[in-house]
Amino acid sequence: MNKQLEELLKAWDAYVQAPKGVEADRLLSLYESTLEEHCERSGASPERLHTGLRRQYWRWLQAQKRFPTVPPKA
Amino acid sequence: MNAAVPLEAPPAGDSVPLRHFATDIVLNWEKAVDEFRKWERQEILEKQPSTKELERHRKDGLFIIRMSRWLLSLVSDPESPARECTREVSGRLRQLEETFEMIHDPISDAEAEAIVKEAFPDEQAVRGTA
């Protein structure tokens, strides 16, 4: 997976999973700044990309649960 | 539990019984939000939910969001004896709303995939299960 895309999905995951509201606000700001940085470079619209990423995140999460990464044998 | 209510003495001028009443409401709300979010994570986000489960989520989610908006207006009042809970309630309300929008957004997997591909042209799609 593209490193930046993975970074965004993980940042959104951290936000969605935050157990407290104050921490959630901080993680949302981190996600939004990462998203805006990428959009500035790529010319994408942050609102549009956020909408696509949210759905992709859900599918990514389901895939992670169905096919968890097996750590390589030593 | 994720208690957001500091247990120190109330600010000068605040009524102790009213403060206990208000903080009890916040603590009970926190328990309800924790339970809802645990169910949401396990049964909706991590699985492929049925139409019936999605409908339950829509109904319960809207109720808990409305309850949280009501609580936010209560604790954020300048006269509230639990106003230090405002940021916590506001943060969790936003989180509930964002997750609700993510789950009930009518966007299709194909549309989402196309948007992400536009922004990450070298990216292979995250294959959907729906």
Q: How big is the A-B interface in CB pairs under 8 Å?
A: 117
Give the pTM.
Answer: 0.85
How confident is the model over B106-116, as a mean pLDDT?
94
Secondary structure (3-state) at A72: coil
Q: What is the pLDDT of residues A22-50, one digit of tens each?
A: 999 999 999 999 999 999 998 999 999 99
Q: How confident is the model at residue B11 (pLDDT cuts 50, 70, 90)?
A: low
User: Are A51 and B112 within 8 A, CB to CB?
Assistant: yes
Whether the pLDDT of residue A14 is over 60: the answer is yes
The alpha carbon of residue B2 and the mean position of all alpha carbons in its chain are separated, in whole angstroms, by 13
Whether the pLDDT of residue A57 is over 70: the answer is yes
**Count of beta carbons in the 10 Å neighbourhood of residue B114:** 12
Judged by a CB distance cut-off of 8 A, whether residue A44 touches chain B is yes
| ipTM score assigned to the predicted complex | 0.86
pLDDT attached to residue B53 = 97
Structure tokens of A65?
């649960």
Of the candidates A38, A55, A62, the beta carbon closest to that of B105 is on A55
Q: How confident is the model at residue B8 (pLDDT cuts 50, 70, 90)?
A: low
Residues B128, A63: contact at Cβ < 8 Å?
no
Tokens 């609700």 identify what position? Answer: B100
- Across all residues in chain B, what is the average pLDDT? 88
User: Are A52 and B119 within 8 A, CB to CB?
Assistant: yes
How confident is the model over A48-58, as a mean pLDDT?
96
d(C-alpha B44, C-alpha A46), whole Å: 26
pLDDT attached to residue B124 = 60
Q: What is the pLDDT of residues B41-79, one digit of tens each?
A: 999 999 999 999 999 999 999 999 999 999 999 999 999
Closest residue by Cα to residue B46 from B58, B37, B33: B37
Structure tokens of A18?
């935050």
pLDDT attached to residue B94 = 98
Q: How confident is the model at residue B121 (pLDDT cuts 50, 70, 90)?
A: confident
